């Protein structure tokens, strides 16, 4: 399959970038804006900043804020119903991963009224018509995949993650405005999850030159800035903006290559048990890297260097692979990440169910090294106290 770069038509960055969104909305003569968001954007004040700006421009809007921590099929259904009832002609998503997944799926369904259930989007390019106009405004660190055409949804009835890849889910524009961006209480976990996404994009089977460049630079930028961003030092605001750039690069890498075992396991656990996918992928990164090491070529050397490790020019693969894993573990320790998921309990049946779902994931197929069901179960056990 030929390599690709798929992303939004436009991306705007930095302080005041949100003004570009208002200019686009007015120039395209949109009349009714549905703002899709969640409780965290409301709490941080980001939602108020957006709605105040919309009101100031004398535009009609409505807020839909019923999005779960992990986007669900029912979230999408409710968002579509809200958009139809309001007669929205454009969607503005404000938040991070789950909000973006909800909005992207809703936009596709609204543009394809013959598809009445988000479950029908599972797989590749199931829609035939363009989505209604969609703009993504990031207010926090979230899932790197939000920038691409990927949509991950929880099917609550089956307790599994639906993996959708639809070119019509690409947003018309992405806005990363540092004035709106707010630090969440799990900023460190989210940042490590972004590094996990970039690592998997770098070593997966679909990786290629352009995704490699974005993945390595993403790891470097986030690793260099996340500590200042978390500590709230004088350099915190500038550091947060750099992490936001790193998130965008991670999105370019992941959405134009693929992911791997940590992502598949994180998605399965979130859908079945509610454990945040970003926490799971962050905690599994080291162990999954050790599993994949022998199939990583020279790429762990790039990872080690991006994380600040000192690598000799003559270092052999075993040395720089160990250095890369050690650098990941050091960063996790510096960020005070937990070693296990507090309160997680998994029975033998739970582990079997999870492992079965993981083995069906597209991302396991992309993992650089083959994995067995037993290995998946053993890795899940490391997350339990």
Closest of 379, 361, 381 to residue 161, by C-alpha: 361
Q: What is the mean pLDDT of residues 84-96?
A: 96
| pLDDT band with cut points at 50, 70 and 90 for residue 230 | confident
List, for residues 299-323, the tens digit of each pLDDT value.
999 999 999 999 999 999 999 999 9
- Degrees, nearest 5: CA angle 109-111-116: 30
227: confidence class by pLDDT, cuts 50, 70, 90: very high
Model confidence at 59: pLDDT above 80: yes
Q: Which residues have a Cβ under 8 Å from the Cβ of 114 and sit 6 or more positions away?
A: none
Model-level pTM? Answer: 0.94
Distances from the Cα of 125 to the Cαs of 108, 120, 130, 161, 338, in angstroms? 10, 10, 11, 17, 38
pLDDT of residue 240: 87
Binned at pLDDT 50, 70 and 90, residue 2 comes out as confident
Look at residue 232 and give its three-state secondary structure: coil
State the average pLDDT over residues 72-85.
98
Residue 186 Cα distances to 142, 191, 246, 384, angstroms: 10, 9, 17, 20
pLDDT in tens, 356-369: 999 999 999 999 99
Does the pLDDT at position 234 exceed 80? no
pLDDT of residue 183: 60
Task: Identify the band that residue 1 occupies on the pLDDT scale cut at 50, 70 and 90.
Answer: low
pLDDT of residue 139: 85
Tokens describing residue 251: 């999105």
pLDDT recorded at residue 220 = 98
Q: How many CA atoms lie within 13 A of 214 on its CB side?
A: 25
- State the pLDDT at residue 380: 98
Task: Taking residues 253-274, report their average pLDDT.
Answer: 96
Q: Are residues 189 and 282 in contact, defined by beta-carbon separation less than 8 angstroms?
A: yes
Number of alpha carbons in the 13 Å side-chain half-sphere of residue 348? 0
Residues with Cβ < 8 Å from 234, sequence gap 6 or more? Answer: none
> By C-alpha distance, which of 209, 213, 186 is closest to 198?
213
Task: Write the pLDDT tens digit of every residue in 170-181.
Answer: 999 999 888 887
Residue range 191-220: mean pLDDT, rounded: 97
Among the residue ranges 66-70, 190-194, 229-233, the one predicted with the least confidence is 229-233
What's the rounded mean pLDDT across residues 52-62?
93
How many residues in total does the chain contain?
Answer: 385
Residue 146 DSSP class: G
Q: 36-50, 114-128, 250-264: lowest mean pLDDT where? A: 36-50
In this predicted structure, the answer to whether residue 233 has a pLDDT above a threshold of 90 is: no
Highest mean pLDDT out of 15-19, 99-103, 183-187: 99-103
- What does the mean pLDDT of the chain come to? 94
Residue 235 pLDDT: 75
Q: In the predicted model, is pLDDT for residue 5 greater than 90?
A: no
| Rounded alpha-carbon distances, angstroms, from residue 52 to 22, 56, 90, 140, 146 | 12, 6, 17, 19, 25
């Amino acid at each position: 399959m030929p390599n690709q770069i798929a992303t939004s038509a436009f991306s705007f960055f930095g302080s005041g970038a949100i003004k570009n969104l208002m200019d686009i909305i007015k120039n395209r003569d949109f009349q009714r804006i549905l703002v899709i968001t969640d409780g965290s954007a409301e709490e941080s004040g980001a939602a108020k900043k957006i709605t105040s700006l919309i009101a100031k421009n004398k535009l009609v809007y409505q807020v839909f804020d019923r999005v779960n921590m992990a986007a669900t099929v029912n979230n999408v259904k409710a968002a579509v119903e809200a958009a139809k009832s309001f007669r929205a002609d454009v969607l503005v998503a404000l938040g991070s991963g789950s909000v973006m997944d909800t909005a992207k799926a809703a936009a596709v369904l609204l543009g394809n009224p013959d598809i009445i259930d988000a479950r029908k989007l599972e797989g590749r390019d199931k829609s035939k018509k363009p989505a209604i106009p969609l703009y993504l405004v990031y207010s926090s660190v979230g899932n790197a995949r939000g920038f691409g055409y990927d949509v991950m949804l929880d099917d609550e009835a089956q307790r599994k993650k639906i993996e959708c890849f639809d070119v019509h889910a690409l947003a018309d524009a992405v806005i990363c405005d540092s004035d709106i961006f707010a630090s969440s209480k799990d900023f460190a976990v989210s940042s490590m999850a972004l590094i996990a996404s970039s690592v998997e994009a770098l070593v997966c089977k679909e990786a290629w030159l352009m995704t490699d460049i974005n993945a390595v630079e993403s790891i470097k930028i986030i690793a260099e800035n996340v500590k200042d961003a978390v500590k709230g030092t004088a350099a915190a605001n500038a550091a947060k903006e750099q992490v936001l750039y790193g998130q965008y690069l991670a999105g370019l890498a992941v959405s134009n290559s693929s992911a791997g075992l940590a992502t598949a396991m994180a998605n399965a656990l979130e859908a079945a048990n509610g454990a945040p996918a970003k926490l799971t992928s962050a905690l599994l990164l080291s162990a999954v890297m050790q599993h994949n090491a022998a199939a990583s070529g020279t790429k762990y050397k790039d990872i080690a260097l991006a994380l600040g490790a000192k690598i000799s020019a003559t270092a052999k693969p075993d040395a720089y692979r160990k250095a890369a894993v050690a650098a990941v573990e050091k960063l996790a320790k510096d960020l005070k990440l937990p070693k296990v998921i507090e309160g997680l309990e998994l029975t033998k049946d739970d582990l079997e169910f999870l492992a079965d779902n993981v083995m069906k994931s597209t991302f396991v197929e992309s993992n650089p090294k083959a994995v067995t069901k037993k290995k998946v179960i053993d890795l899940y056990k490391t997350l339990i106290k």
